[in-house]
Amino acid sequence: LEREHDLGAAALVVALVAVTACGEDPPPASDTDACMQLEMGPYTQLSATTSRDVSTPTVADDGNAYTVTLTGSGFGYVKIDATAGRYVFYLDRGLMVNALEGAGTPATASSATSSDACTTIKGRHEVTLGAGAVYLGLMSDGGAPVNLVVAAP
């Protein structure tokens, strides 16, 4: 009986290891939340500016999706008043994005064109920001407005 118990326990351990090794990691919770926000809102309408100044509209990690009307060509800017930490910017279209800190210093970002959480995410841009005003540039593609979600620490 003891030998059967040992064999049963060993088989269970092998099965658990096999299941764990074959399983995929779920997408980050922020990706799942961004999917819901991009698909269902609530939406805040705003227009990007061609300059980075006091007239640039502000976005935040506030549970909203921002519907951003872009400029005719080039980069259109929105601003985030960042606390130091990692941010993820989600878009429902694949646009070029840049994040400029302080006096225009580019922040290093890693980008992906999708997420395993849903097909709505067409751009996922992860960047570590310092504290202060950061201007997020969205390259116009001549299309309709783009939806943006901000996830912060």
List Cβ neighbours of 25 (8 Å cut-off, separation of 6 or more): none
Q: Token pair of 78, please?
A: 């929105």
Place of tokens 């930490």: 85
The strand order across the sheet containing 75-82 reads 75-82, 132-139, 97-101, 105-106
What is the per-residue pLDDT across 57-101, written as a single tens digit (0 to 9) for each?
999 999 899 999 998 889 999 999 999 999 999 999 999 999 999
pLDDT for position 10 = 42
The answer, yes or no, to whether residue 14 has pLDDT greater than 80, is no
Output the pTM of the full model.
0.81
